Amino acid sequence: MKTPADEGLEALKERANDAADLLRLLANPTRLLLLCQIARGECSVAELERDLGLRQPGLSQQLAELRQNQLVKTRRESRSIYYSLADARVQVLLEALHEALCGDPQLQQATRPPARMAPAPGESARFARIER
């Protein structure tokens, strides 16, 4: 009989490649900034260029990557193209990243793993000793 933990692990195994691909897309600083800005609300290319200080060629390349991977969608209005999020998972991940990295510093300190305690006297020497 499978436990809920076993089922969760099986689901993760089935989706591990998808998760890794999504995280790879978020791992680029420019794409991450673009997604953060777009997550705040629909943005035109000109707004993204101005607000993030990005040059058109690099901006277009990164937006194309996000479009090809269906993380953003476009809407044309006259001569302007507007971008918005197309994948709800991105919003969830961005919120988690923001909370973990940009949230309340006291909360971050409280949830950080404790520093390792110094070994007891003689313990490190025993660990480092090479027996022959």
- Give tens-digit pLDDT for 23-69: 999 999 999 999 999 999 999 999 999 999 999 889 999 999 999 99
89 close to 81: Cβ distance less than 8 angstroms: no
Query: Distance of CA 75 to CAs 21, 67, 92, 112, Å?
Result: 25, 12, 23, 42
- Taking alpha carbons only, the member of 6, 82, 9, 79 closest to residue 43 is 82
CATH 3.40.50.720 correct for 8-104: no
pLDDT at 10 (0 to 100): 83
Exposure string for 35-70, b = 16+ CB within 10 A, e = fewer: bbbbbeeebebebbbeeeebeeeebeebbebbeeee
Q: HSE of 73 in the Cβ direction (CA atoms, 13 Å)?
A: 5
66 close to 72: Cβ distance less than 8 angstroms: yes
Indicate the residue type of 108. Answer: Q
pLDDT band for 122, please (50, 70, 90 cuts).
Answer: low
Average pLDDT along the chain? 82
Mean pLDDT of the 114-121 span: 48
